[in-house]
């Protein structure tokens, strides 16, 4: 019954007194210095590309980092995790989903919460390129869902050297998460995500004339509408409900065969209990669930600490014990 009843998170600094502040302040203001990546453009099996950012410590251990919706390898949580793991002797692979590295991908499709083919190719590329003995995955928000779904779908077929997954603020139930974005209190997050995604749809429509009807943007009233008109068809799903069903990690993690840590704050403004698989964890020896009372969405700041609690918790959970 690996539910962690008492989280080790000490709580946010006092001035961050609610989940919104704990989410927004680190996203806008936190800076992580001293991270220098080496970029590799990796060609996928369909001829498209993703950009991979490496920190090479000539290690036998590799951490693979996956960012959130409309994020990239330079988001504060990605750089913080990369810096901390590198300081402890790990190689780092921080990959950018299609269209997220500053250059639009070539194929008609984009990335999405349920896309695990790309992360599978990236991981296999890393394993074949370098002589690693231990590989672990860390994902934030959408990236947490991707990492968890990958581990669940792969099950016993996952490469033996992959030893664990840590996911923070993961929307493992996408239908519920989409509904929460429509709440008036979450207007800031909805508009921020939507502005970026609409811009990408316009770019993609220009690259692939006739394939996207931008007039449908006028029909978008709730987040599900956007997924029906855009997210689902561009990524090969029938509609939004099919997308939510196939992409939600909650539908696959029962088959996970490596230790996984799922950490969602109780005051996360855009996630709720539907994204925390407590009933499954109670009967699954490898699924560890930790739900700090505070932390917001991909926040988890700690007073007078360079690193967030999530970054230190990921290292604690995934670093091999001597």
pLDDT digits (tens, 9 = 90+) for 170-198: 999 999 999 999 999 999 999 999 999 99
Give the pLDDT confidence of 41-63 residue by residue, as tens digits: 999 999 999 999 999 999 999 99
Task: Give the residue-averaged pLDDT of 255-283.
Answer: 95
Q: Which residues contact 191 (CB under 8 A, 6 or more apart)?
A: none
pLDDT for 3: 86
Q: Which residues contact 181 (CB under 8 A, 6 or more apart)?
A: 189, 190, 193, 223, 270
In the structure, what pLDDT confidence band is assigned to residue 321 with cuts at 50, 70 and 90?
A: low
For residue 72, give Cα distances in angstroms to 92, 100, 299: 14, 6, 16
Task: Give the residue-averaged pLDDT of 267-274.
Answer: 96
**Backbone dihedral angles phi then psi of residue 257, each to the nearest 5 degrees:** -120, 10
Percent share of the chain, pLDDT over 70: 99
Give the pLDDT confidence of 82-129 residue by residue, as tens digits: 999 999 999 999 999 999 999 999 999 999 999 999 999 999 999 999
pLDDT for 192: 94
Helix 19-29 to helix 76-87 angle (10° resolution) is 70
pLDDT of residue 320 exceeding 80, the answer is no
For residue 66, give Cα distances in angstroms to 15, 62, 137, 141: 29, 13, 8, 9
pLDDT for 322: 43
pLDDT of residue 71 exceeding 70, the answer is yes
pLDDT for 231: 96
Task: Give the residue-averaged pLDDT of 292-318.
Answer: 97
What domains can you pick out in the chain, each with its CATH number? 3-173+253-318 (3.40.50.1820), 182-247 (no CATH)
Question: CA-based diameter of the chain, in Å?
Answer: 59
In the structure, what pLDDT confidence band is assigned to residue 240 with cuts at 50, 70 and 90?
A: very high
Task: Give the residue-averaged pLDDT of 228-233.
Answer: 96
CA distance 297 to 303: 17
pLDDT for 1: 52
pTM score over 0.95: yes
Average pLDDT, the chain: 96
CA distance 109 to 98: 9
Rg value, the chain, Cα: 19
């Amino acid at each position: 019954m690996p539910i962690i009843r008492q989280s080790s998170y000490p709580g946010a600094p006092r001035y961050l007194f609610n989940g919104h502040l704990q989410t927004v302040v680190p996203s806008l203001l936190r800076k992580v210095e001293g991270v220098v990546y080496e970029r590799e453009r990796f060609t996928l099996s369909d001829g498209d590309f993703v950009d991979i950012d490496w920190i090479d410590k000539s290690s036998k251990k590799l951490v693979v980092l996956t960012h959130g919706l409309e994020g990239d390898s330079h988001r504060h949580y990605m750089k913080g995790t990369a810096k901390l793991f590198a300081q402890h002797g790990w190689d780092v692979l921080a990959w950018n989903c299609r269209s997220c590295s500053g250059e639009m991908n070539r194929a008609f499709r984009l990335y999405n919460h349920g896309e695990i083919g790309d992360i599978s190719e990236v991981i296999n590329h890393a394993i074949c390129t370098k002589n690693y003995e231990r590989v672990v995955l860390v994902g934030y928000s959408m990236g947490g869902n991707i990492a968890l779904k990958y581990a669940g779908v792969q099950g016993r077929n996952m490469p033996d050297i992959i030893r664990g997954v840590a996911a923070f603020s993961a929307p493992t139930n996408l239908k519920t998460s989409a509904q929460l974005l429509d709440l008036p209190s979450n207007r800031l997050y909805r508009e921020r995500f939507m502005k970026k995604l609409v811009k990408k749809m316009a770019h993609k429509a220009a690259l692939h004339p006739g394939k996207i009807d931008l007039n449908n943007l006028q029909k978008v009233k709730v987040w599900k509408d956007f997924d029906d008109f855009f997210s689902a068809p561009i990524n090969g799903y029938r509609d939004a409900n099919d997308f939510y069903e196939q992409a939600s990690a909650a539908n696959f993690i029962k088959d996970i065969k490596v230790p996984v840590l799922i950490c969602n704050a109780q005051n996360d403004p855009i996630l709720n209990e539907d994204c925390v698989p407590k009933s499954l964890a109670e009967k699954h020896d490898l699924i560890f669930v930790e739900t700090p009372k505070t932390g917001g969405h991909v926040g988890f700041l700690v007073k007078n600490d360079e690193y967030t609690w999530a970054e230190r918790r990921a290292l604690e959970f995934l670093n091999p014990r001597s």
